[in-house]
Chains A and B, each alone.
Chain A
Amino acid sequence: MTATRTVTIADPLGLHARPAAEFVSAARGYQSDLVIRVGDATANCKSLLSVLKLGIAHGTVVVVEADGEDEDSAVEDLAARLENEVQDAASS
């Protein structure tokens, strides 16, 4: 079983810099294996270096996949972060 969710990156900064660091920190809170997919490229959500190398910009459509015991809550949380990062960025 794998849980997946497709979202559009809402943060105008894209998944870069601090948003990426926050995303990776959140991903590390889950047991499941977590992957973020852009087209054919994939990254391990628990690796900042891996996520940064995707260079995900604002408006990119990404797929979050989770495989493990807490896959449903992990996918839900991470997808929501990608869609809701806007306020966080604006207040910083």
Chain B
Amino acid sequence: MILQGIAASGGCAIGPLALIEQAAAEIDVTATSTRPVEESLARLTAAVEASREDIELIAATARERIGAENAAIIEAQLLVLDDPEWHEPVVEAIHEGATAEGAVWRVSQEVAAMLAALDDPYLSERSADILDVGQRVVGHLTDRRRQVPTAGAARDVIIGAYELTPTDTLDLDLEVVRGIVTEVGSRTAHAAIIARQLGIPAVVGAKGLLDAVSSGDLVLVDGDRGTCTIRPGEDEADRARASTAARAAREVVVDPVSTRDGVAVQVLANAGSLADVERAVAWGADGIGLFRTEFVFMQAATPPDEDEQAAHYAAIAEAAQGRPVTFRTLDIGGDKPVPGLHVEAEANPFLGVRGVRLTLANEDLFVAQLRALARTAAAFPGIKVMVPMVSGLEELDQVRALLAEHAPDAAFGFGTMVEVPSAATIAPELAEEVDFLSVGTNDLTAYVLAADRGNTGLDYLYDEFHPAVLRTLHQIRSGAGATPVSICGELAGEPRALALLVGLGYHQLSVSGPLVPEVKSAVRELTAAATAEGVAAVLRARRRSEVDAALDILAQLGMR
């Protein structure tokens, strides 16, 4: 049985499922306490103190594991514990006869609901923190802490839960936990962000999970496709074990790599935060091929100004330790709200004002970012800047006019993303006018096939190996001539695609950090010159099945 969820953190994992129970789920918030009020209050105080100790410990490890930037998520929970707006209603409810756990859970739910209802994405996210805190205090009160399986539990487990809180995710023992699957959740939830930082494969929003499984069931989590296979067949399980074992065995390769026949292939990492960059360096990435600047905007209540951005980008460049970093300018739209920036709701945000269309319409915002990036480039060599969602030369003209006026000395390499089909068609003209192109295969696939990646009803359609997508990649690369073209979508980290991409002439691949060692090893086993025949066969393929057959031939040819 296969459940389709949302791909929250890449990679595959297989193992027995360990379900985390929700400590607060069965709390009767209307129950009347049989204990004296003083005793309930004393229990509350003890549980709050125990929770405070927990959170302080988690925050301390969080600073080490995911960086101070992300650890602030956890630290804010400490303030909730003795916040009068949370604490006083709890005490009041206990005085009115409620049990301590009932009072804590009811007030936590009420406060969380109130925050979630506010029209502010930052505050909505905070509501998950309130529930996390409430859950923890209830756990101490009922002696049913959400125990995340650690040493002593079976090794190589997959964690299953209705929903995973940020602190749950940080509690996970990386020696034991191989993957995560949850019934609800979103890609942007804190728990998903933390899972990506830690490199744990995760699928969230797998509806029906809790009905379909019990602890100990063998499950296969595919964090790239967003699927969870329950009790997979022997063959499938063996394949998954082999591929995860192979991945685990990959050694970090720090030096640049080439194919057997000497074609240099740069293996870069995608990143969105300082912690991502630090991890990418540790994985041996040759640089950052895509730095998503949205993160710094998402974290603040109002868009950060030029100085703040410059400081942030300098920290990123510093963390890359001399490796090249390609910054993508703000890529948001109606579906990805940014605090403090008003974006009109649109009937069709996917085809609406997003990426460069949005930044050109918000000139002050765009100028501040371009100037901040120019300052970063003045201090660090190897800084490149690329603009997302370009559909024609006119947009490039406008960006360059802004640069000429506001940052005439900008020393960064300037490039454009190719994800809109029109940009793919005019790749030769784009390539003549910029320093580099970078193909975002996720969006390109969606636009070529007119299929939303997140729409589970279109699973059969969204496919990076569709003949039209692969031919478009060929068209872009061959059209760009001598201009460097990189790939920064998920296809770049797909093992089956490597021989094809290198054979098509893509020699810069930007992948998620944990995939870097695997891709580097695979590049060294490849013979680029031997791929020509297989590449031609892939490009001739008429149906997906023919693509598969051609890719198999290609894999054999390329590995000779």
Complex Cα–Cα for A27 and B72 (A): 19
Residue from the set B85, B115, B311 with the largest chain A CB neighbour count within 10 Å: B85
Q: Given A48-B83, A50-B84, A12 and B75 touching (CB < 8 A)?
A: no
Q: Given A12-B304, A57-B301, A91-B311, A18 and B84 touching (CB < 8 A)?
A: no
Q: Which of A74-90 contact B (CB under 8 A)?
A: 89-90
Q: Which of A23-66 contact B (CB under 8 A)?
A: 24-25, 44, 46-50, 52-53, 55, 57-58
The verdict on B426 contacting chain A, using a C-beta distance below 8 Å, is no
Nearest CB to that of A55 among chain B residues?
A: B120
Set of chain A residues within 8 Å of B118, measured between Cβ atoms: 53, 55
Residue from the set B86, B126, B302 with the largest chain A CB neighbour count within 10 Å: B302
Give chain B nearest CB distance to A82 CB in angstroms: 14
Q: Are B83 and A47 closer than 8 Å at their CB atoms?
A: yes
Q: Are B126 and A52 closer than 8 Å at their CB atoms?
A: yes
Q: Are B301 and A14 closer than 8 Å at their CB atoms?
A: yes
Give chain A nearest CB distance to B15 CB in angstroms: 37
Q: Given A16-B122, A16-B300, A57-B302, A49 and B72 touching (CB < 8 A)?
A: no
Residue from the set A14, A21, A46, A48 with the largest chain B CB neighbour count within 10 Å: A48
Q: Given A13-B300, A47-B85, A49-B115, A21 and B311 touching (CB < 8 A)?
A: no
Complex Cα–Cα for A17 and B85 (A): 17
Q: Is the interface of B mostly helix, strand, loop or mixed?
A: helix
Set of chain B residues within 8 Å of A25, measured between Cβ atoms: 79
Q: Are A16 and B308 closer than 8 Å at their CB atoms?
A: no
The verdict on B307 contacting chain A, using a C-beta distance below 8 Å, is yes
The verdict on B529 contacting chain A, using a C-beta distance below 8 Å, is no
Complex Cα–Cα for A47 and B80 (A): 8
Set of chain B residues within 8 Å of A16, measured between Cβ atoms: 122, 300-301, 339
Give chain A nearest CB distance to B508 CB in angstroms: 33
Set of chain B residues within 8 Å of A48, measured between Cβ atoms: 76, 79-80, 83
Report which of B84, B122, B307 forms a contact with A47, defined as CB distance below 8 A. Answer: B84
Q: Are B122 and A17 closer than 8 Å at their CB atoms?
A: yes
Set of chain B residues within 8 Å of A57, measured between Cβ atoms: 301-302, 340
Complex Cα–Cα for A13 and B85 (A): 24
Q: Are B123 and A21 closer than 8 Å at their CB atoms?
A: no
The verdict on B111 contacting chain A, using a C-beta distance below 8 Å, is yes
The verdict on B22 contacting chain A, using a C-beta distance below 8 Å, is no
Q: Are A49 and B301 closer than 8 Å at their CB atoms?
A: no
Complex Cα–Cα for A47 and B86 (A): 9
Complex Cα–Cα for A44 and B83 (A): 10
Q: Are B84 and A46 closer than 8 Å at their CB atoms?
A: yes
Q: Are A12 and B308 closer than 8 Å at their CB atoms?
A: yes
Set of chain A residues within 8 Å of B472, measured between Cβ atoms: none
Complex Cα–Cα for A36 and B526 (A): 65
The verdict on B305 contacting chain A, using a C-beta distance below 8 Å, is yes
Nearest CB to that of B72 among chain A residues?
A: A18
Q: Are B85 and A90 closer than 8 Å at their CB atoms?
A: no
Report which of B72, B123, B302 forms a contact with A52, defined as CB distance below 8 A. Answer: B123
Set of chain B residues within 8 Å of A49, measured between Cβ atoms: 80, 83, 85-86, 111, 115, 130
The verdict on B442 contacting chain A, using a C-beta distance below 8 Å, is no
Q: Which of B83-119 contact A (CB under 8 A)?
A: 83-86, 111, 114-115, 118
Complex Cα–Cα for A49 and B111 (A): 9
Q: Are A50 and B120 closer than 8 Å at their CB atoms?
A: no
Nearest CB to that of B118 among chain A residues?
A: A53
Q: Are B308 and A89 closer than 8 Å at their CB atoms?
A: yes
Give chain B nearest CB distance to A34 CB in angstroms: 11
Set of chain B residues within 8 Å of A44, measured between Cβ atoms: 84-85
Give chain A nearest CB distance to B2 CB in angstroms: 39
Complex Cα–Cα for A57 and B300 (A): 10
Q: Are A21 and B308 closer than 8 Å at their CB atoms?
A: no
Complex Cα–Cα for A16 and B85 (A): 17
Set of chain B residues within 8 Å of A47, measured between Cβ atoms: 83-85
Q: Given A47-B84, A89-B308, A21 and B76 touching (CB < 8 A)?
A: yes
Complex Cα–Cα for A25 and B300 (A): 19
Q: Given A44-B84, A52-B123, A21 and B300 touching (CB < 8 A)?
A: no
Complex Cα–Cα for A44 and B79 (A): 13
Complex Cα–Cα for A10 and B90 (A): 35
Q: Which of B427-462 contact A (CB under 8 A)?
A: none
Nearest CB to that of A89 among chain B residues?
A: B308
Complex Cα–Cα for A24 and B82 (A): 11
The verdict on B425 contacting chain A, using a C-beta distance below 8 Å, is no
Report which of A21, A55, A91 forms a contact with B75, defined as CB distance below 8 A. Answer: A21
Complex Cα–Cα for A21 and B301 (A): 14
Q: Give B130-159 as 1s and 0s: 1 = Cβ < 8 Å from A's Cβ atoms.
A: 100000000000000000000000000000
Give chain B nearest CB distance to A27 CB in angstroms: 11
Q: Are A13 and B79 closer than 8 Å at their CB atoms?
A: no
Nearest CB to that of A43 among chain B residues?
A: B85
The verdict on B475 contacting chain A, using a C-beta distance below 8 Å, is no
Complex Cα–Cα for A6 and B67 (A): 36
Report which of B75, B76, B85, B308 forms a contact with A50, defined as CB distance below 8 A. Answer: B85
Nearest CB to that of B310 among chain A residues?
A: A90
Give chain B nearest CB distance to A20 CB in angstroms: 9
The verdict on B478 contacting chain A, using a C-beta distance below 8 Å, is no
Give chain B nearest CB distance to A46 CB in angstroms: 6
Given contacts A47-B83, A49-B86, A91-B311, 19 further A-B contacts (CB under 8 A): A12-B304, A12-B305, A12-B308, A13-B300, A14-B301, A16-B300, A16-B339, A21-B72, A44-B85, A46-B84, A48-B76, A48-B79, A49-B80, A49-B111, A53-B114, A53-B123, A57-B302, A89-B308, A90-B308
Q: Show 21 residue pairs from A and B whose CB-CB distance is below 8 angstroms, ordered by the A residue.
A: A12-B300, A12-B302, A13-B302, A14-B301, A14-B302, A16-B122, A16-B300, A17-B72, A17-B299, A21-B72, A47-B83, A47-B85, A49-B111, A50-B83, A52-B115, A53-B114, A53-B118, A57-B301, A57-B302, A58-B302, A90-B311
